[in-house]
Amino acid sequence: MSESTSHSDIRMRGFLNRKSVKEAQDWCDAQSTPLPSDVIPLRDAHRRVLAADVVSPIDVPPFDRSAMDGFALIAEDTFGASDYNNLRFTVVGSSFPGDGFSRTVENGQAIRIMTGAPIPDGANAVIPVEYSNVEQQGKTEQLLICESTSPGKHIGRQGEDILAGQVILEKGRSLRPQDLGVMASVGLNEITVHRKPNVTLLVTGNELVSPGTPLEKHQIYDANSFVLRSLVARDGGELVSQIYVPDDEQKLKSLLQSVDTDVVLLSGGSSVGQEDHGPQLVAKLGELPFHGISMRPSSPAGMGKIGNILVFLLPGNPVSCLCAYDFFAGRAIRQLGSRHPEWPYQRQSFELNSKIASVVGRLDYCRIRIVDGNATPISVGGASILSSTTRANGFTIIPEDSEGLPAGETVDVFLYDEPGQYISPDGTL
């Protein structure tokens, strides 16, 4: 019997059993093969993931160049120079960045040269300007130097940074600003990256209205879509469509049949209420191997497929929605874009200053506030209390095999903010 036909209608009856978080994540991993590659302009490549090694077509620098402002000359001509024995050279020209000296430097000659300018033929060293003195003698300039130099001194050699044919960045790398600079330095203006996963967001609920619209009686503002849009962008996805859907089975069915993206996020309508149509529709149109997870919050989460499209059922309660996305949908989106599956949160260890109760067989997502260097569990932590996540600095996980954690236990906290991003007025992280 297939997963689709074996899924029973549990609306108004409750979950008969729940799968573990690990089982659900293993399924996500198995479905999330990296997407094919795209060729994009270099200017759009920040934080994209390379689908192929980047090989330099040129040497960098492409010629020998000066590392100092000064004078290019033949090093051997300077031997014996000192404060008591200034040596004299005739200045016969200049070399500037983009406009080098066209002739060959001969013994007893010097070329005025700027940082980054090409070293002229014949010269093999640069005397910094601070170790020289120029005198005007008639129509010529005479360079007097008081210190000897050695061949190659103050010269940046061709290819000393990058050699032609060298792999400068390996596939799988998430590109940083300096990576784009390196690729630009070798003349690349297009690169091959993994395609961004395309995401459709369906926000269900008759009670929801968009912020900016006056509230009618018994209505609430949609918050989940703003959380999810930001999380999708963080994880390298591309939200291509967001649609508000009433609690209407036929309208939701029509939308699920018409979407053409890599991932569908269904916010709300994932539980066992009379108007929770999402689970039954996904099961009928495709497959729903997971509905109901042994975790708190987010136990009504589910995931399946319609054709090749991954569908994630995210609970309507805001904290449950955030949690289910992070554990399952975000993990899949990251892997579809060839990113690491684990959370992009900084992890730090702190000591608990009060206990956390849990139940064996259920994973708990506990919001944490860091005060005076210790981890304080947020006391008001319901699945609908979204502001608890703004008061929290991060979260810790109580595993399924634990009944909780005592005060004084050291726990890993996954911090919402990046390092140095936020410090509250009372001195907490």
- In this structure, the answer to whether residues 308 and 395 fall within a common structural domain is no
Inside any domain, residue 261: yes
Report if residue 425 sits inside a domain.
no
- Residue 269: phi and psi, rounded to 5, are 70, 25
CATH number at residue 183: 3.90.105.10
Domains: count for the chain: 4
Q: What is the pLDDT of residue 386?
A: 86
Which CATH number fits the domain that encloses residue 221? 3.40.980.10
CB 7 within 8 A of CB 302: no
In this structure, the answer to whether residues 203 and 216 fall within a common structural domain is: yes
Q: What percent of the chain has pLDDT over 70?
A: 93
Question: Would you say residue 429 lies in a domain?
Answer: no
Per-residue pLDDT averaged across 12-27, rounded?
81
pLDDT at res. 83: 87
Mean pLDDT of 159-179: 97
pLDDT score, position 8: 61
pLDDT at 375 over 90: yes
Boundary (domain end) residue, out of 102, 135, 156: 156
Q: Are residues 265 and 315 in the same domain?
A: yes
pLDDT of residue 422: 53
Q: Which amino acid is at 173?
A: R
Question: What is the domain range of residue 56?
Answer: 41-60+161-194
What average pLDDT does this structure show over 42-50?
96
Which range has highest mean pLDDT (263-272, 281-290, 370-379)?
281-290
pLDDT at position 11: 47
Q: What is the CATH number of the domain that holds 379?
A: 2.40.340.10
Cα 385 from Cα 206, distance rounded (Å)? 20
Residue 266 and residue 249 share a domain: yes
Question: Does the residue 327 lie in any domain?
Answer: yes
Say if CB 101 and CB 71 are below 8 A apart: no
| Residues 78 and 144 reside in one and the same domain | yes
Residue 45: pLDDT over 90:
yes
d(CA 410, CA 415): 15
pLDDT value, residue 137: 87
Does residue 91 or residue 10 have the better pLDDT?
A: 91
Instruction: Show the tokens assigned to 289.
Output: 């191997």
pLDDT of residue 127: 95
Residue 14: pLDDT band with limits 50, 70, 90:
low
- Helix ranges (H only) for 274-329 are 278-285, 318-324
Region 115-120 average pLDDT = 97
DSSP 321: H
Cα separation of 12 and 7, whole Å?
Answer: 15
Position 196 pLDDT exceeds 90: yes
Can you tell me the mean pLDDT for 47-62? Answer: 97
Same domain, 190 and 201: no
Residue 341 resides in a domain: no
d(CA 381, CA 354): 15
Residues 288 and 403 reside in one and the same domain: no
CB 89 within 8 A of CB 105: no
- Per cent of the chain over pLDDT 90 is 80
Q: 223 and 175, same structural domain?
A: no
**CA–CA separation, 38 vs 302, rounded Å?**
31
Answer yes or no: is 427 within a domain: no
Measured distance CA(122)–CA(72) in Å, rounded? 9
Least confident of 191-195, 345-349, 422-426: 422-426
Tokens of 53: 């090694």
Radius of gyration of the chain (CA): 32
End-to-end alpha-carbon separation of the chain, Å?
52
pLDDT interval class at 382 (50, 70, 90): low
Contact predicate 392/398, CB 8 Å: no
142 shares its domain with 212: no
Does 211 have pLDDT greater than 60?
yes
The answer to whether residues 269 and 328 belong to one domain is yes
**Per-residue pLDDT averaged across 396-418, rounded?**
93
Residue 155: phi and psi, rounded to 5, are -120, 130
Convert the pLDDT of each residue in 347-365 to its tens digit.
999 999 999 999 999 999 9
Q: Is residue 76 part of a domain?
A: yes
The residue out of 315, 336, 357 marking a domain boundary is: 336
At 132 the pLDDT is: 86
Q: Do residue 21 and residue 95 come from a single domain?
A: no
Cis peptide before 419 (omega within 30 of 0): no
- The CATH code of the domain that includes 87 is 2.170.190.11
Kindly state whether residues 363 and 387 are assigned to the same domain: yes
pLDDT for 4: 43
Q: Is position 426 within any domain?
A: no
Say whether pLDDT at 5 is over 70.
Answer: no
**Domain stops at, among 279, 304, 336:** 336
pLDDT digits (tens, 9 = 90+) for 217-274: 999 999 999 999 999 999 999 999 999 999 999 999 999 999 999 999 999 988 777 7
Residue 81: how many other CB atoms lie within 10 Å: 19
- Give the model's pLDDT for residue 419: 64
